[in-house]
Amino acid sequence: MSLFCSNKNGLRLTNVFNKKNYDEEDIYKSIHNGVVEKFPILDQMTRKEYKAIIMKLSYGEGNQSRSEDIKDYYRRLDISTKSSGIASPYKITAEYPSSLYNKFPSFKLLKKQIDIIIAARSELNLPINLNISAIYKTTQYYNMDKAITYTFRGYDNTSKKIKMYIPENELYDKKANTPKRFEAKVNKNKMLRATMPNLIHYLDAIALQHVTTRFREENKPLFTVHDEFYVRLCDIHFTKMAYFNALKQIYDDRPWFSILDSNKILDYEIDLNNMKEKMIQQTLNDLIKTFKKSIPENLLFEEMNDNILK
């Protein structure tokens, strides 16, 4: 996300760029330090403990789930949540997003724009588009707690559209002797919670796809299991460079602009005779034009940190 949001400090803290007189250890420590400033009681928390909380945040888990980690920390130190002056675990975990956004304002800007897009497109029962590379993917969540994925590109490079519906409920039609199916309702809260993590996973997948392509081009052996890459010792530097160049390639494609453009509401997606739908379309599309003006300026890629991928 540091790459997506043109944030140099984030890229240094994630070992993409070399750190230049930057004291903080990494991005997890940086975010955690912001919370410790407000809640000093967390100063004895281990890296494993605070990293788990931040990872849950990046995966879209709510405060309730993350607060369990704070409770475990309190139990380790034999601290009672009922003691006077002890902050509640729920209140503490709510501070982690604030710390993230305070240190990286462009993250907050992106999240705000994505939330507005989700609100508008969900109102029209439209998916959220993650259009960054040649792989065009969209996601949508329904109240049945199932995700629907639409794929729009075939092997012949022609545009294809697959539209699926999941029933919100079923009623039995006695006359026709068949169940009646009803279109599912969008789960807007889950869309708000899950879209950013989905975007992160999508960016990871694109980067790894580029790395795999480089290995194929050079005819180098590569063994993968999920997101783990096994390479020869003599190919470690090649792997680092391939990953670094993959990030640069993704950035050169201006993914933030692509996300905004791909989520404009098009005429064929709405009922043009419905004034409410036309108003939602016009409002969102005008906002997207405004959003583009606030995207951070292009950053110049710096020298690769040799600790990249560590």
pLDDT attached to residue 227: 74
Residue 263 has pLDDT above 90, yes or no: yes
**Residues with Cβ < 8 Å from 36, sequence gap 6 or more?**
42, 43, 45
Among the residue ranges 197-211, 239-253, 285-299, the one predicted with the least confidence is 197-211
Q: What is the pLDDT of residues 74-127, one digit of tens each?
A: 999 988 877 777 888 889 998 999 999 998 999 999 999 999 999 999 888 888
Mean pLDDT of 138-165: 57
Would you list the domain boundaries of the chain?
8-103, 108-148+187-293
Closest C-alpha among 251, 309, 264 to residue 291: 264
**What does the pLDDT look like over 12-47, one tens digit per residue?**
888 888 876 655 578 899 999 999 999 999 999 999
Question: pTM for this structure?
Answer: 0.79
User: What long-range pairs does 300-303 form, CB within 8 A, spacing at least 24?
Assistant: 301/17, 301/248, 301/251, 302/8, 302/11, 302/17, 302/18, 303/17, 303/18
Query: Strand (E) positions, the chain?
Result: 128-131, 136-141, 147-151, 167-173, 178-183, 223-225, 228-230
**Phi, psi of 249, deg, nearest 5:** -65, -40
Could you report the per-residue pLDDT of 223-232, keeping only the tens digit for each? 988 778 899 9
